[in-house]
């Protein structure tokens, strides 16, 4: 049996098997009953291991021990020689030191051959590996007292460590540096092919006990390397926290003296400057470009590729920088949905690379963990505009420099207790999506520029053109906001109205704000037919007239022109047309730039009912507002106009021109809500199409249709629809004396290919 180690003198006593009888050294004689006796003594001398030539080269070691019982210590023959044989000799040499208290059992008692010389004791004890056993109390060597090439036990406070990493050989390697009250720092390497045998290190300041480590010189200072029968135990370094051993090994010695050692080291370390360095970096205190350790909880994870894994974590505090979200398909995500917490800037998206995947892969959502040497960077999302704030990304780079790594922490770890209490305050967040509680959001929402939707980083089919730098909000948040407000959203189009796109073309009066649909051809044709009934051509002094018979009997088509304009190009002339059908004026308008349909009322030229266009100009038709047009046609003023267009014609005729507008109502959708938003003031910029041009161009109407088919492909699933980055204006209108909140898309354009 090898030398067995215990930590306390009291443990030594407890080790004495019941069949052994404790004997004092002074009472030992050659005639003593040798079996089942034991002595407890202190090592006063330990000789080297020598090879005994007389006994087939067996190894042996001589030691002198002295009675430990205080009443017997000063008596005669209180010291005695002990000879250890074989493996016990080597074992004792390595594990026992001068000054150690040992318990020897089942020895044999022989006459001492040296008694006449040393006067020590008439007997000597012989210990061989077959029967005898030694229990030795561990002693710990202060770090300033290490001798090279010895096997020692030490205690120390950890000033640096790396989590176990694969060495170039066959083992994992843990590397650490420790110090103690002597202020000497000692490096230490631990090799073992079993990860579970490595010390459980949580953070700098932890206390570690090393048993059976071999000392050696390396670069002018002492270093430690685990050797046969080695073990480690670690403890939290926090003063006054319970001294709970963290050990990977199943059996280990731990007693009162360990508690004392740990407490003394804690006390000493608390006054050292190196111990206090930022232990407590939380998301709320993270700055860009930092390297720091983060204690947090894993909520969800996703494998990005063979060299990168995404860990979505939180610590219950809110970052003051907008956090970069990493787009992941929901089916690739393991763990809970973090949509609500992402929105509230509570989630750090940590990208874990390369060698750290081995640890990260096995982490289960819900686990508490700690990152070492986590790196923060400001980063621009792929489609982010220059005027938006950059977002904070988290990288656990490959390699182990600076202790870079990560590990899970047991939920009962003292370092986690404050974190857990913070997290518990957030339990109601999980129900946020159901209750849509705006108050809760108000409380947690502070970073003005922050908060991103889940798919923040993907491409957008649109681009915002606004100069302002307002915050991006979720639709749920927009709905809870108080108008007036400008904001940015990222959404998809669930539906839109009108489905018949030609119906989105509207006539709008800027004066009375009335809006009406563009009359259809049959309504217009009817006005023409009725106007042509009075076939008597009108006769105005200011006009030159030419007339022709129509195909229909009794109907005359007349064209009038201001006498001032006679001889001008037909493309610059303003021509008044009387007696035509709608079809006929359409044919004429291909040759004449500006045609104003008129009718005759008792020989006087009069505008048609304003249901019909008051001006045909090429393919375009212009309408006047029935309510706002003053009929000044009786005395038209044509002078002072260089070129005739819809504006100058309208002014000359006293017509209030109605504007073409495009109006579409979108039903927007993101992860949080849906919202109906109008595309109205901004439509022309949105589509890069003029409404007036679109009114007369099938090509342009097709262009709008194509864009809409991209935004919301017919019969498409949500995922097939592109994300739109939109600038949104939130405002109120009076609707039957009640305030109604409206949402309008502004400052947004479809990206040009």
Partner DNA sequence: GGTTAGGCTTGG
Positions touching DNA (CB under 7 A) are 159-160, 162, 167-171, 173, 175, 177, 187, 189, 191, 214, 216, 218-219, 223, 225-228, 289, 291, 307-308, 351, 353-354, 373, 375, 395, 397-404
Beta bridge partners of 125: 82, 109
What is the C-alpha to C-alpha distance for residues 745 and 487, in angstroms, rounded to an integer? 10
- ∠ CA 279-284-288, nearest 5°, is 85
For DNA, the closer CB: 402 or 731: 402
Opening angle at CA 342, ends 339 and 343, nearest 5: 90
Per the structure block, which two tokens stand in for 663?
């109006």
DSSP letters spanning 134-162: EEEE-----GGG--TT-EEEEEEEEEEEE
Nearer to DNA, 25 or 324 (CB): 324
What backbone phi and psi angles, to 5 degrees, belong to 586?
-65, -40
Between 341 and 356, name the residue whose CB sits nearer to DNA. Answer: 356
For 705, residues 6+ apart whose C-beta sits below 8 A from its C-beta are 501
Q: Do 597 and 619 touch, CB atoms closer than 8 A?
A: no
Cβ nearer to DNA, comparing 203 with 599: 203
How near is the Cβ of 229 to DNA at its closest, in Å? 8
**Smallest gap from residue 182 Cβ to DNA (A):** 17
370 versus 477: smaller Cβ distance to DNA: 370
In the complex, minimum distance from the CB of residue 399 to DNA, in angstroms, rounded to a whole number: 6
Query: What's the rounded Cα separation, in Å, for the pair 387 and 466?
Result: 9
- Shortest approach of DNA to residue 447 CB, angstroms? 24
DSSP 388-436: SPPEEEEEE-SS-GGG-EEEEE-TT-GGGHHHHHHHHTTGGGGGHHHH-
Cβ at position 160, least distance to DNA in Å: 4
Q: Check whether the bond before 604 is cis (ω within 30° of 0).
A: no
Of the candidates 531, 727, 511, which has an alpha carbon nearest to the alpha carbon of residue 626?
511
> Could you give the 3-state DSSP secondary structure of residue 47?
strand
Residue 636: half-sphere exposure toward Cβ, Cα within 13 Å: 26
Closer to DNA at the Cβ: 48 or 169? Answer: 169
CB of residue 318 to DNA, shortest distance in Å: 24
Task: Select 177 or 560, whichever has its Cβ closest to DNA.
Answer: 177
User: Rg (Cα) of the chain, in Å, rounded?
Assistant: 47
Strand partners, 300: 312, 335
Q: How far is the CB of 285 from DNA (least distance, A)?
A: 16
Q: Provide the minimum distance between the beta carbon of 332 and DNA in the complex, in angstroms, as a whole number.
A: 17
Q: Give the Cα separation of 523 and 292 in Å (integer).
A: 74
Q: Concatenated DSSP letters for 278-329?
A: T----GGG--TT-EEEEEEEEEEEEEEETTEEEEEEE-S---SSPBPP----
**Cβ closer to DNA: 375 or 464?**
375
CA 159 to chain centre: 30
Q: How many C-beta neighbours within 10 Å does residue 748 have?
A: 22
State which residue, 224 or 652, has the beta carbon closest to DNA.
224
In the complex, least distance from residue 156 CB atom to DNA, rounded to whole angstroms: 13
The residue among 310 and 608 lying less far from DNA, judged by its C-beta, is: 310
Give 174 or 580: the residue with its C-beta nearer to DNA: 174
CA angle (613 as vertex; 610, 619 as ends), nearest 5? 175
* Beta carbon of residue 93, minimum distance to DNA (angstroms, whole number): 12
CB distance 591 to 618 below 8 Å: no
Residue 587 and residue 550 in contact, taking contact as beta carbons nearer than 8 Å: no
Report the nearest approach of DNA to the CB of residue 310 (Å).
12
Question: Please, what is the minimum distance in Å from the beta carbon of residue 432 to DNA?
Answer: 31
Closest distance to DNA from the beta carbon of 308 (Å): 6
What does the block give as tokens for 555? 């109907």
Cis peptide before 484 (omega within 30 of 0): yes
Q: Which lies closer to DNA via its Cβ, residue 215 or residue 460?
A: 215
CB of 590 to DNA, least distance (A): 59
Which C-beta is closer to DNA: that of 395 or that of 651? Answer: 395
- Pairing type for strands 368-379 and 391-396 reads antiparallel
Kindly tell me which of 159 and 338 has the beta carbon lying closer to DNA.
Answer: 159
Smallest separation (angstroms) from DNA to the CB of 2? 10
Q: How far apart are CA 92 and CA 74, in angstroms?
A: 26
CB nearer DNA, residue 144 or residue 570: 144
């Amino acid at each position: 049996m090898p030398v067995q180690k215990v930590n306390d003198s009291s443990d030594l006593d407890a080790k004495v098997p019941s069949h052994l009888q404790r004997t004092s050294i002074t009472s030992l004689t050659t005639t003593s009953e040798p079996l089942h006796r034991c002595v407890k003594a202190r090592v006063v001398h330990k000789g080297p291991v020598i090879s005994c030539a007389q006994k087939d080269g067996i190894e042996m070691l001589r030691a002198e021990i002295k009675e430990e019982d205080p009443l017997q210590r000063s008596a005669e023959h209180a010291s005695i020689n002990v000879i250890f044989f074989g493996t016990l000799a080597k074992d004792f040499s390595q594990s026992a030191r001068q000054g150690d208290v040992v318990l020897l059992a089942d020895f044999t008692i022989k006459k001492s051959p040296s008694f006449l010389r040393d006067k020590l004791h008439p007997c000597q004890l012989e210990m061989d590996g077959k029967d005898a056993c030694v229990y030795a109390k561990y002693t710990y060597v202060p770090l300033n007292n290490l001798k090279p090439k010895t096997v020692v036990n030490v205690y120390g406070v950890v000033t640096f460590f790396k989590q176990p990493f694969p060495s170039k050989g066959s083992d994992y390697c843990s590397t650490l540096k420790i110090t103690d009250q002597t202020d000497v720092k000692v490096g230490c390497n631990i090799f073992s092919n079993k990860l579970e045998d490595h010390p459980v290190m949580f953070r700098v300041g932890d206390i570690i006990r090393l048993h059976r480590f071999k000392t050696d010189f390396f670069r002018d200072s002492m270093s430690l390397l685990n050797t046969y029968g080695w073990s480690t135990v670690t403890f939290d370094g926090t003063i006054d926290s319970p001294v709970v051993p963290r050990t990977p090994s199943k059996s280990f010695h731990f007693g009162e003296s360990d508690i004392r050692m740990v407490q003394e080291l804690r006390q000493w370390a608390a006054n050292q400057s190196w111990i206090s360095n930022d232990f407590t970096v939380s998301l709320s205190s993270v700055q860009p470009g930092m390297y720091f350790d983060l204690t947090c909880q894993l909520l969800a994870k996703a494998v990005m590729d063979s060299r990168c894994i995404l860990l979505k974590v939180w610590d219950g505090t809110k970052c003051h920088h907008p956090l970069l979200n990493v787009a992941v398909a929901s089916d690739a995500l393991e763990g809970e949905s973090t949509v609500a917490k992402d929105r509230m800037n509570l989630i750090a998206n940590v990208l874990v690379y390369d060698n750290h995947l081995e640890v990260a892969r096995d982490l289960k959502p819900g686990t508490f963990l700690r990152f070492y040497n986590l790196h923060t960077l400001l980063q621009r999302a792929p489609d982010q505009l220059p005027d938006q704030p950059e977002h904070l990304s988290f990288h656990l780079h490959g390699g182990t420099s600076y202790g870079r790594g990560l590990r899970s922490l047991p939920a009962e770890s003292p370092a986690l207790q404050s974190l857990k209490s913070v997290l518990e305050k957030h339990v109601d967040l999980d129900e946020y999506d159901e209750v849509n509680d705006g108050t809760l959001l108000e409380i947690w929402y502070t970073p003005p520029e922050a908060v991103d939707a889940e798919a923040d980083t993907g491409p957008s089919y649109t681009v915002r053109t606004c100069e302002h730098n307002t915050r991006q909000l979720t639709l749920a948040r927009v709905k809870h906001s108080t108008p007036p407000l400008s904001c940015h959203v990222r959404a998809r189009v669930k539906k839109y109205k009108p489905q018949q796109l030609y119906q989105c073309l509207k006539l709008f009066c800027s004066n009375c704000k009335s809006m009406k649909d563009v009359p259809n051809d049959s309504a217009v044709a009817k006005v023409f037919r009725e106007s042509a009934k009075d076939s008597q051509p009108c006769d105005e002094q200011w006009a030159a007239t030419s007339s022709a018979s129509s195909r229909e009997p009794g109907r005359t088509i007349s064209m009038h022109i201001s006498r001032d304009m006679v001889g001008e190009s037909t493309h610059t002339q303003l021509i008044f047309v009387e007696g035509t059908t709608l079809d006929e004026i359409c044919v004429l308008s291909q040759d004449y730039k500006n045609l104003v349909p008129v009718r005759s009322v008792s020989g006087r030229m009069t505008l048609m009912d304003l249901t019909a266009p008051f001006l045909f100009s090429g393919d375009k038709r212009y309408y006047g507002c029935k309510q706002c047009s003053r009929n000044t046609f009786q005395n038209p003023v044509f002078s002072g106009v260089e070129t005739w267009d819809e504006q100058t014609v309208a002014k000359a005729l006293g017509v209030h021109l109605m504007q073409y507008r495009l109006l579409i109502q979108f039903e927007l959708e993101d992860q949080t809500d849906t919202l109906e938003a109008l595309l109205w003031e901004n439509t022309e910029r949105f589509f890069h199409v003029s409404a007036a041009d679109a009114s007369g161009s099938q090509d342009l109407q097709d262009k709008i249709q194509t864009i809409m088919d991209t935004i919301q492909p017919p019969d498409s699933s949500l995922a097939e629809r592109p994300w739109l980055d939109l600038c949104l204006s939130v405002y109120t209108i009076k609707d039957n004396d009640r305030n109604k909140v409206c949402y309008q898309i502004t400052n947004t354009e479809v990206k040009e290919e």
